Chain A
Amino acid sequence: AQSVTQLDSQVPVFEEAPVELRCNYSSSVSVYLFWYVQYPNQGLQLLLKYLSGSTLVESINGFEAEFNKSQTSFHLRKPSVHISDTAEYFCVTGGGNKLTFGTGTQLKVEL
Chain B
Amino acid sequence: DVKVTQSSRYLVKRTGEKVFLECVQDMDHENMFWYRQDPGLGLRLIYFSYDVKMKEKGDIPEGYSVSREKKERFSLILESASTNQTSMYLCASSPPNGTGGTHNEQFFGPGTRLTVL
Taking Cβ atoms with an 8 Å cutoff, the residues of A that contact B are 9, 30, 32, 41-46, 49, 51, 90, 94-99, 101-104
- Asked, given contacts A45-B108, A101-B42, A101-B43, whether A51 binds B103 with beta carbons under 8 Å apart, the answer is yes
- Asked, given contacts A43-B90, A98-B58, whether A9 binds B102 with beta carbons under 8 Å apart, the answer is no
A76 to B108, CA, bound (A): 21
Is B34 located at the chain interface by the 8 A CB criterion?
Answer: no
A51 to B42, CA, bound (A): 22
Taking Cβ atoms with an 8 Å cutoff, the residues of B that contact A are 4, 31, 35, 40-45, 48, 50, 58, 90, 92, 97, 100-103, 105-111
Assuming A45-B108, A98-B58, A101-B35, what are 4 further A-B pairs, CB within 8 angstroms? A30-B100, A101-B43, A103-B40, A103-B41
